[in-house]
Structure formats: C-alpha cells, structure tokens
Amino acid sequence: MATKTKRFILPEDEIPTQWYNIQADMINKPLPMLNPGTKKPLKAEDLYPIFNQACSQQELNQTDTWIDIPEEVYEQYKFYRCTPLVRAYELEKALDTPAHIYFKNESVSPVGSHKLNSALAQAYYCKKEGVTNVTTETGAGQWGAALSYACKAFGLELAVYMVKISYQQKPYRRSIMQTFGAQVTASPSMSTRAGKDIITKDPTCNGSLGTAISEAIELAMTTPNCKYVLGSVMNHVSLHQTIIGLEAEKQMAMAGEYPDIVIGCFGGGSNFSGIAFPFMRHNILEGAKTQFLAAEPSSCPKLTRGKFEYDYGDESGYTPLLPMYTLGHNFQPANIHAGGLRYHGAGTIISQLLKDGYMGAVDLPQTETFKAGVFFARHEGIIPAPESCHAIAAAIREANKCKESGEKKVILFNLSGHGLIDMAAYDQFLAGDLVDYSPSDEDIAANLKDVEPLQ
C-alpha cells in the first residue's frame, strides 16, 4: 500500500548535538546592552550576579557559530525529542490551497510547550555551577511549568512568583508546578520588599509580570546560591530554542522540501527564533530566499508598530537597557488570552534582523486567531495554545494568498504549544464573547515618550 507520510521524525541518534548561534553569522551584530547608570556596554561578568555564567557568556557570544549541547541536557531532550514535523494535509484540503503546509509540533513536550528546551539547559548550567536555588516569574504559567520540570530533573529548588490574577483564575498550571515540586507564590506577596510595598499601597492589587519579575530578582539577590532565570527575550534562550529549527531542517529534507515561508508566533521571540534561525542562516550565507514571518497580537504590536530604541526589559526598570523594538516598558497590553504574547519588547537579535530586512511581522486580532485555532483543531486534531493560534492564523492567510495566485509555496510554522489547559479561553470564543483590541497611535506614542533614543 503506497501511502503519504504524515509525520517525519528523526531517529534518536540524529537529533542535532549543537545549538546554532546566529549572532556569529549576522552581518550587523546586535547593538550592545547598556548599563542604565553609566550607559557603558555590558560585559558577561556584569550579568553574573543574577544569571548563571554559562548563559551570561552565551548571551554575548558573537563568534562561535555552533555551541555543543551538554550531554546531560541531550539526555533530557530524548524524553520528548525529536518532536514531529507534520504535513497538514487535512488543513490544506480544507483551505483548498495549492500550498504545502507543515508544522513542527512542540506541543508534545511533557509540559505542552517549547519552553522546556531552554528550561532544561538553564537548569543544567545552574546545577553545574553549584547553584542550589532558582527563582523566576510566570504569567499564565507555561514558563513556570517548564522550569519546574527542569528543576526536578536536575535537583534544584525552585520558587516561582505567579501573577496573582493568573494564580487565581488559571489554577492548573500552578498545579503542574506544584506536582513537580516547585514553591509557587501569588505575586504581589508579603515575602519580598517589592511585594510588600505594592500590597501596602493597594491591598487588592491583581499583580503584573513586572511586579513578579521584581520579586523574583529580589529573592535571587538576597538568597545565597540562588539564580534568576528567564523564559524568553534573552539571546541565550533563543540559542537553546534553535534545536527546533535544526531538527525541522533535517525533517524537511526527509520530506524532500525546503520552506518558502517560516512562521512563528511572537511574544519575546524564543519560539520564533527557534524555528527561524537555522533556516535564516541559509539566507544570510547563501542567499536563500525564504521569507520569515513573526505573528504578533494586534493588542501588543511591538514589531509592526513599535520603535527601535533603547528600553528596559521589565516594567520596573531593573534590567539593562536593551536595543529593541518596543512599545515602551510601561505599555499595558489588553488582557488577551494569549498571555505569552503580552510583552512590550522584542529580543535584541530579532530587533536587528527585523531592522535589516531579514524578517517581517504581521499583527493579528485575537478573534481571527481563535477562529484559526478551532479550524486547525477540527482538521488536524490538535487544540493549539492561544499563542500558537497566531502562527496558524498567519499560515492560513499565506495559504489563502497561494490559492489566489495559484502558487505552490511550502509553508512551515511552529506549533509552540497545545491549548488543553486554556479551554476557558476557547469557551469564551465559542460563546462569542471575545473582543479584539488594538492600541491607538496616541497610546503607543505616549508610552514611547520615556524610552532612550538610539545614539
């Protein structure tokens, strides 16, 4: 019986053994991060008080193209990698498009998203450097869930500050974190000075990612042997995520195709970087013509409507100044369901690549993304995370363009996670209760007033 291959999976011994560092190949390197006080470029050592040393060095490494995946991390990757590359035949048929659509299914990780790829690496480096305790913040809980798994795997204690409103309204990711042994605290909390200050001013405060970051950093600075880790935005996180695209490149070869368009949803940039950078390498070095498209929410449009300036990575201004496309660190995105995409800025590598024309971006209203997610679920059988619905909606737009033009483009998108713990969002969509948000030009301009112009 001659059947078509649906899923392409690499044998275990063909899982890539190195991550790809695009900084080494970039023609215009990312601009330096600056110390906000002195305005001097940061060195790796300046990051050591908060981050582990290996990740601090990876952050600023602009010379080594390939970085070995430590054996211990590789062994952990084998629990769920290689993730499948899937040809979306049913989606193609339903759209009646001549395009070939593929997706990389990162939702098969034990915690349901791509975030584990970097959580395992960061936990490993912490352990190796003698760290015993790790802290982080989490919004909807995807990053906290991934890190709790990784800390259990490497024997580290984890304290997570979870935005209070999510802690109350989205209890199941909290349960996942607790199942893996993490200590989860609703933020703001009375356990830090930053939290106490906020509660004293406003006892009913629902919390924000900015406050949770402040609490996590404060704990890391005041606890011996404790480091802070982040799930997105930073260059080392993007580096770890390139395992996605490196596998996909080999899997596309198994399918006998090469993508014309690569799409990922965009929050801080980690899953997009992961699927895109290994293919972008061929654009930079060999003049390949693949198009790269980051799919962001209309409610938080930093790539399509933000400005390229120096800005803080967090609301409270604790981080170095980062050269990035930003809506301003005080920007308060509407409370959309794709919590992982509600971030005001983009990483420094992505920002440079966008400025130099190596990639593009598109913004999508949330009702269109849920419509795409439901359509995808009904034809391909997987309920996507609300974040991933943005990538699907963008892929559907491209497939529809192919239908009009008759072009047989090969479209590859990253399915960054599943939505099985986000069904309340689907309930709202199916009940017709979801609305779209888009900030006015005046709102955006007002928030950009405080950011530092690029010299």
Ligand X SMILES: *Cc1c(COP(=O)(O)O)cnc(C)c1O
Q: Compute the least distance from the CB of residue 262 to ligand X, in Å.
A: 14
Decide: 241 and 117 in contact? Cβ < 8 Å: yes
Residue 448, C-beta contacts closer than 8 angstroms, at least 6 positions apart: 306, 307, 309, 326, 327, 328
155-163, 220-228, 359-367, 385-393 -> range binding ligand X (CB under 6 A): 385-393
Near ligand X by CB under 6 A: residue from 385, 394, 396, 399:
385
Instruction: Give CA angle at 427 (421, 433), nearest 5°.
Output: 135
Calpha distance 113→162 (Å, rounded):
18
Q: Compute the least distance from the CB of residue 91 to ligand X, in Å.
A: 19
Residue 39, C-beta contacts closer than 8 angstroms, at least 6 positions apart: 321
Instruction: Give CA angle at 222 (217, 224), nearest 5°.
Output: 110
Q: Indicate whether 306 belongs to the interface with ligand X (CB under 6 A).
A: no
Near ligand X by CB under 6 A: residue from 16, 188, 245, 340:
340
Q: Compute the least distance from the CB of residue 239 to ligand X, in Å.
A: 13
Q: Indicate whether 297 belongs to the interface with ligand X (CB under 6 A).
A: no
| Of the candidates 430, 384, 426, the residue with the CA atom closest to the CA atom of residue 105 | 384
Decide: 300 and 337 in contact? Cβ < 8 Å: no
Based on CB atoms, which residue is closest to ligand X, 194 or 324? 324
Calpha distance 9→208 (Å, rounded):
39
Q: Compute the least distance from the CB of residue 204 to ligand X, in Å.
A: 27
Near ligand X by CB under 6 A: residue from 144, 313, 417, 439:
417
Query: What distances in angstroms separate CA 245 from CA 97, 141, 239, 345, one per listed residue?
Result: 25, 24, 11, 23
Name beta bridge partners: 113: 417
172-180, 260-268, 317-325, 399-407 -> range binding ligand X (CB under 6 A): 260-268
Near ligand X by CB under 6 A: residue from 76, 166, 271, 326:
271
Q: Would you mind telling me the total number of residues written for the chain in this entry?
A: 455
Near ligand X by CB under 6 A: residue from 416, 421, 425, 447:
416
Calpha distance 398→225 (Å, rounded):
49
Based on CB atoms, which residue is closest to ligand X, 195 or 297? 297
Q: Indicate whether 265 belongs to the interface with ligand X (CB under 6 A).
A: yes
Q: Compute the least distance from the CB of residue 310 to ligand X, in Å.
A: 21
Name beta bridge partners: 101: 411
Q: Indicate whether 8 belongs to the interface with ligand X (CB under 6 A).
A: no
| Of the candidates 233, 99, 117, 111, the residue with the CA atom closest to the CA atom of residue 179 | 111
Site for ligand X in 228-247 (CB under 6 A): 232
Q: How many residues bind ligand X (CB under 6 A)?
A: 19
Based on CB atoms, which residue is closest to ligand X, 190 or 423? 423
Q: Compute the least distance from the CB of residue 224 to ligand X, in Å.
A: 30
Q: Indicate whether 266 belongs to the interface with ligand X (CB under 6 A).
A: yes
Q: Compute the least distance from the CB of residue 258 to ligand X, in Å.
A: 23
Binding site for ligand X (CB under 6 A): 113, 115, 142, 232, 265-272, 340-341, 385, 387-388, 416-417
